[in-house]
Structure 1
Amino acid sequence: MDSYAKGATAPALIEQTIGDCFDAVAARQPEALALVSRHEGVRLTYGQLQADANRLASALLRSGLVPGDRIGIWSHNNSAWLLMQLATAKAGLVLVNINPAYRTAELEYALNKVGCRAIVAMARFKTSDYLGMLRELDGQLPQLERSYWIDVAGQGADEPGMTRFSELLASGDVADPRVAEVQRGLKNTDPINIQFTSGTTGFPKGATLTHRNILNNGFFIGECMQLTPADRLCIPVPLYHCFGMVLGNLACLTHGSAIVYPNDGFDPLTVLQAVQDERCTGLHGVPTMFIAELDHPRFAEFDLSSLRTGIMAGSPCPIEVMKRVVEQMHLSEITIAYGMTETSPVSCQSSTDTPLAKRVSTVGQVQPHLEVKVVDPASGAMVPRGQSGELCTRGYSVMHGYWGDVEKTREAIDTEGWMHTGDLATMDDEGYVNIVGRIKDMVIRGGENIYPREIEEFLYRHPQVQDVQVVGLPDARYGEELCAWIIPKPGQALTEEAVHDFCKGKIAHYKVPRYIRFVAEFPMTVTGKIQKFRIREAMSEELSLRPDRTA
């Protein structure tokens, strides 16, 4: 049997815009809790959130922006972010998510690439001075006309040349007839969001997504989690990424659930506190976040018994971590989601009743109204079930395209509409998909294909290993050799010899990492994706490795 699966066709796709769908939910339950932003002390009902979103949409249109214009959001998690997500959708503006880790060169590239006319930014966060960086680029952003900074109304000094977000919001009219008029004229196939994909080489590409893309993806993600208006979802993952914005915000808003932001940036203690105090029923996170929560010295102090579901995604989910999350955090119905920004993002997900064995070893089955297949990367032909190849996705979730880059779009989406993910996967007889690595991460040692994920899962079983990443390094004799970066559990003294002894007789000799390093952290993106290429770069430099020489 070929590695191909097609999702269910019910329930039907939502053929509304984000604004219309949200208004319908708000009309059904105006008094229900919609948002808790704990670090800001903000609590809004669906009716209040709708009023603020309409007021902001009015303000943006009154500022001179017109449907189709691009406006950037450069901020960690807060209520202004959610308001921008809803207001821009109502006003037909394209929200451009700017990574809070970006610095001046990356910011300049992103804003100019898509032609942002305005930007809403945090003032500062830890060592990042966002307004300072914007001022530094004065004169280098020819299309940027207005900059707004997220303030606490009536507090703090003014920022010369920039407008307070609270003033922008106050300039709008909650009953502005133009908002309803613009909203009526929008199509659900209109681009509404641009997210920059962090490529390991070259400049980031602006994945352009429509109402139809992300609204439906958020809805079906919530369906997998069985969300209802009784649920409260704790969202510590960044909103600038699909994980927070779609798997978090839109999953909640399409089901009338409450959104809970524990903090602006990730902090395990505030997550645990928020879950306990708000009686959250759901919790999202990447594996490194769940590890930080589980291993926090005060973990046992918190009552997490209200938890039921959530999503672990963003990078491969270690089986041992998944087991701990289910057993120690009460997340008996946690699901695994897999996808990429270009597919809005989720194409496969486990459900709340997926058997635990499948939940900890796969990324679930294809989502409704989507198709997935596994193909031979060289020939493009479908491979038999159980054989690895490149995972491809087709359906409503596939992006509109890369902004202003027809050539890159054609490289990613073939003539039959399949998005080529670059991920290596297998599909079993029941249609469960397992991600075994990235095509570019596969290590070929002496003719043997090795998937780093397999070695990582094995090393996670070591009782003193907290986290591990495996990469391939150049080797003159074998072509490539394995290298493992290991974060030991707190207070544990782990040695290279102990790791090698653990491997002996349990995995093939060629799968035992030649190089082992103990580190405190991994290089990663803001969303928790491990940057393996940086590990390779650091080790190659340390060992003076080149493809034609060895250490």
Structure 2
Amino acid sequence: MDAVAADLHAAGLRRGDRVSIWLPNRLENVVILLACSRNGYVCNPSLHQNYTAAEIVTLLSRIECRALFAQPGWGADAATADIFARAQELGHMKRVYALPPLRAADAQMPAASHPMPMPAQTLRMAGLAPSTHPDQIVYLAFTSGTTGAPKGVMHSDNTLLANGRAMVADWSMNEKTVLLTLSPMSHHIGTVALEQVLVAGCELVMHDPSAGVAPLDWIEETGATYVMGVPTHAMDLLHVLSKRGAKRLGAVKVFYMAGAPIPTETARRLMSLGAKPQNVYGMTECGSHQYTKPADPMDVITSTCGKSCAGYEVRLWQPDNPDLEVLPGEVGEIAGRGGLLMLGYFNNQTATESSFNSSGWFLSGDLGRFDENGNLEIVGRKKDLIIRGGHNIHPSHIEEYAHRHPAVKKAAAFGVADERLGEKVCLAVIAQDTPPGADEILEHLAREGLSKFDMPEFFIVVQEFPLTASGKILKRELMQWVSSGRLQPEPVRYKAPATAS
């Protein structure tokens, strides 16, 4: 860490300058972030693998990045685009570092790039003392952009570590914990993992897909006791476990899941394997602020995200008037405030101001309701809301019921344009093995309790979903696939059984 901090200082970086990371999961991610915190730089670790070099250059330019750490061959168009040459051309760039792939240490590095500074290098800090200002901006992460252009979220050491301290206390983590993140370190879940590791003093394991080791084998070989990811990771692991006939998920005791609702059946299967699901809700802007606790019963874990953690509070506001709170039991827009909250959006005062209501509560854009015990149930995103002829339909309920069908591996409900009604509901599923038929799915949804007014009117079985780097389903892209004809869902109609006279 000191070697990296010294080299960045020698390159001319000063406090407040931005340092970007475009790397796969590797320990250098942590070293660079800590070096930035030491010197008072702003670390930007959220450049995902599925970005193109042109997109990376755009983001680097937006924040006037001074230093970039990248790996040759990494990125959506790495075979044809040279991010190192492009980055060197930026007038504000002071240094570009190239790190060889983990299993190709002798690879030829790009011209004019610098190697990763190593501890053996004796570079002097010219009297630069470590920064001791805990409220300085140390972290700048771009949102995943599932509903629009990504914004640059700014955090300090204090706002980040407040989350880690609360989670470690609530889940009794200590130096014996082995924490494995299945999410990339470029996603905020990876940052939440690091926060907890720094607080608890435990071991951090990052899943490295390039190693050719399956996630389940990674869990077993590392002895992971706490796994972090999204529900997609859990579904995939359970599918492999079922094929292997395994009775336990290694040594895993806790499975953190965020980014999407946890299907009830997924949670129940984890519990049967001795892994307690941690149902988490949060955002890059306010961390993993809402989650279930170890002592929560199954119904709380499977249907809610529990209560907000120490240092953050949540209230629900009217979706069409965010200055008025909803009545108890009503659905409202989730908003919060507290020590976990971001310091604003980088160079975007308009977006920062418009994200708060008149009382100073940060508006998430998500909809939820509190149960009678104060646990938060996530209903969906305001922009995910399907409005059919003036009737509001929340996709999360349809998806939850669909996931309970034994032939459904993953499900996504989204709106498709309709000239008369505005929108209709389309349900897309990935099958476990044999795909279910449309009538079978509709009858299943009815048995599970879905209202006939919320029933899908289109159905399609797909091989894969478009995903963000963190594993969230890009429903906006699914909608575009339908409008362009790439997907052609089948029109379906639910027929309620005739009642006996």
TM-score (norm 2): 0.90
> Residue in 1 aligned with 2:344?
401
Determine helix, strand or coil for the equivalent of 1:394.
strand
Q: Counterpart of 2:262 in 1: which secondary structure?
A: coil
Change (3 A) 1:235 1:383: same
Change (3 A) 1:307 1:427: same
Q: Name the CA shift for 1:265/1:440 in 2 (closer, same or farther; >3 Å).
A: farther
Taking a change above 3 Å as real, the CA distance of residues 130 and 221 of structure 1, as seen in their structure-2 partners, is farther
Letter in 1 for 2:257: M
When residues 533 and 154 of structure 1 are mapped into structure 2, their CA distance, relative to the original with a 3 A threshold, is closer
CA distance in 2, matches of 1:302, 1:163: 48
Residue of structure 1 in register with 2:26 after alignment: 78
1:103, 1:133 within 8 Å by CA — same for their partners in 2?
no
Kindly provide the amino acid, as one letter, of the partner of residue 32 in structure 2. M
1:347-426 equivalence runs, <5 A: 347-379=289-321, 380-426=323-369
Equivalent residue for 1:523, pick from 452, 458, 466: 466
Q: Is structure 2 residue 238 aligned with structure 1 residue 291? A: no
The CA distance in 2 between the partners of 1:510 and 1:400, in whole Å, is: 42
Q: 2:169 aligns with which of 223, 230, 236?
A: 223
2:225, 2:251 within 8 Å by CA — same for their partners in 1?
Answer: yes
Q: Give, in whole Å, the separation in 1 of the partners of 2:82 and 2:176.
A: 42
**Which residue does 1:34 correspond to in 2?**
none
* Aligned equivalent of 2:70, options 118, 121, 125: 121
Following superposition, the deviation at residue 501 of structure 1 comes to: 3.2
* Cα distance in 2 for residues equivalent to 1:129 and 1:58: 30
The residue aligned with 1:275 is 219
Cα distance in structure 1, aligned partners of 2:332 and 2:429 = 28
Shift of 1:93: 1.1
User: In the TM superposition, what whole-angstrom CA distance separates every residue of 1:246-296 from its partner, at most 9, and x where no partner exists?
Assistant: 2x11111210111112315697x5321222122211111111111111112
Shift in CA distance, 536/80, structure 1 to aligned 2, threshold 3 Å: same
Aligned to 1:164, the other structure's residue is in SS state coil
- Alignment-mate amino acid for residue 205 of structure 1: K
Distance between the aligned counterparts of 2:2 and 2:282, measured in 1?
32
- Mark the runs of 5 or more structure 1 residues left unpaired by the alignment: 1-52, 546-551
Match of 1:193 in 2: 139
Q: List per-residue Cα deviations over 1:366-414 (Å, max 9, x = no partner).
A: 1112111001022221112211010001011221111111111101134
CA contact (8 A) 1:466 1:486 kept: yes
Q: Shift of residue 228 of structure 1?
A: 0.6
1:433-472 alignment, distance < 5 Å: 433-472=376-415
Q: CA deviation at 1:224?
A: 2.6
- Determine whether 1:111 maps to 2:111: no
2 CA distance for matches of 1:134 and 1:422?
34
Give, in whole Å, the separation in 2 of the partners of 1:130 and 1:66.
Answer: 34
Give 3-state SS (helix, strand or coil) of 2:96's partner: strand
**How much does 1:415 deviate?**
4.8
Task: Give the 3-state SS of the residue equivalent to 2:92 in structure 1.
Answer: coil
Contact 1:276/1:303 (<8 A) preserved: no
Q: Give the match's secondary structure for 1:144.
A: coil
Q: Which runs of 5+ in 2 are unaligned?
A: 489-501
Q: Using the alignment, how far apart are the partners of 1:405 and 1:528 within structure 2?
A: 27
Render the CA deviation track for 1:2-47: whole Å, top value 9, x for unaligned.
xxxxxxxxxxxxxxxxxxxxxxxxxxxxxxxxxxxxxxxxxxxxxx
The alignment's C-alpha RMSD in Å is: 2.4
Q: Take 2:284 and 2:486, find their aligned partners in 1: how far apart are those partners? A: 35
Corresponding residue for residue 438 of structure 2: 496
Q: Deviations over 1:505-550 (max 9, x none)?
A: 64322222111010011111010111111111111232999xxxxx
Alpha carbons of structure 1 residues 474 and 219: separation in structure 2 relative to 1, 3 Å: same
Q: Which residue of 2 aligns with 1:254?
A: 199
Separation (CA, whole Å) in 2 of partners of 1:144 and 1:172: 24
Matched, 1:162 2:85: no
CA distance in 2, matches of 1:450, 1:413: 25
Cα separation, partners in 2 of 1:457 and 1:262, compared to 1, 3 Å: same
2:230 and 2:210 map into 1 onto residues whose CA distance is 14
Q: Secondary structure at the match of 1:429?
A: coil
Call closer, same or farther: CA 1:316–1:304 in 2, change over 3 Å: closer
Partner of 1:311: 256
Say which SS state the counterpart of residue 57 (structure 1) adopts: helix
Show the 5 A alignment for 1:201-216. 203-216=149-162
Matched AA of 1:221:
M
Q: What's the CA shift for 1:316?
A: 1.7
2: CA distance, partners of 1:488 / 1:131: 35
Q: Residues 170 and 70 from structure 1, CA distance in 2 versus in 1: closer, same or farther, beyond 3 angstroms?
A: farther
Query: How many residue pairs were aligned?
Result: 482
User: Contact conserved, 1:59 with 1:172, CA < 8 A, in 2?
Assistant: no
Residue 239 (structure 1) aligned with residue 185 (structure 2): yes
Answer whether contact 2:427 2:456 (CA < 8 A) is retained. yes
Residue 131 to residue 284, structure 1, CA distance change in 2 (3 Å):
farther
List per-residue Cα deviations over 1:338-359 (Å, max 9, x = no partner): 111111x122111111212101
Q: Distance in 1 between matches of 2:485 and 2:360?
A: 43
How has the CA–CA distance of structure 1 residues 204 and 543 changed in structure 2, closer, same or farther, with 3 Å as cutoff? closer
Tell me which amino acid in the other structure corresponds to 2:68.
Answer: I
Distance between the aligned counterparts of 2:372 and 2:205, measured in 1?
Answer: 38
Q: Does 1:143 align with 2:143?
A: no
Tell whether the 8 Å contact from 1:272 to 1:302 is kept in structure 2 after alignment.
no
Task: Return the alpha-carbon distance in structure 2 between the equivalents of residues 541 and 130 of structure 1.
Answer: 28
Deviation at 1:63, TM superposition (A): 2.7
Query: Does the CA-based 8 Å contact 1:243-1:314 persist in structure 2?
Result: no
> C-alpha displacement at 1:177, in angstroms?
6.5
CA distance in 2, matches of 1:301, 1:429: 38
Counterpart-to-counterpart distance in 1, 2:436 and 2:154: 46
Task: Output the CA distance in 2 between the equivalents of 1:71 and 1:360.
Answer: 39
CA spacing shift, 1:219–1:523, aligned 2, 3 Å: same
In structure 2, the CA distance between the partners of 1:535 and 1:529, relative to structure 1 (3 Å rule), is: same
**Residue 187 of structure 2 aligns to which amino acid in structure 1?**
H
Change (3 A) 1:514 1:172: farther
Secondary structure in structure 2 of the residue aligned to 1:137? helix
Residues 455 and 265 (structure 1), Cα distance of their counterparts in 2 relative to 1, 3 Å cut? farther
Query: Are the aligned partners of 1:238 and 1:265 in contact in 2 as well (CA < 8 Å)?
Result: no
By how many angstroms is 1:318 displaced?
Answer: 1.4
For residue 296 of structure 1, give the secondary structure of its aligned residue in structure 2. Answer: helix
Are 1:441 and 1:451, in contact at CA under 8 Å, matched by a contact in 2? yes
Structure 2 distance, partners of 1:391, 1:265, is 38
Aligned to 1:67: 15
TM superposition score normalised by structure 1: 0.82
C-alpha contact 1:376 1:382 (8 A) present in aligned 2: yes
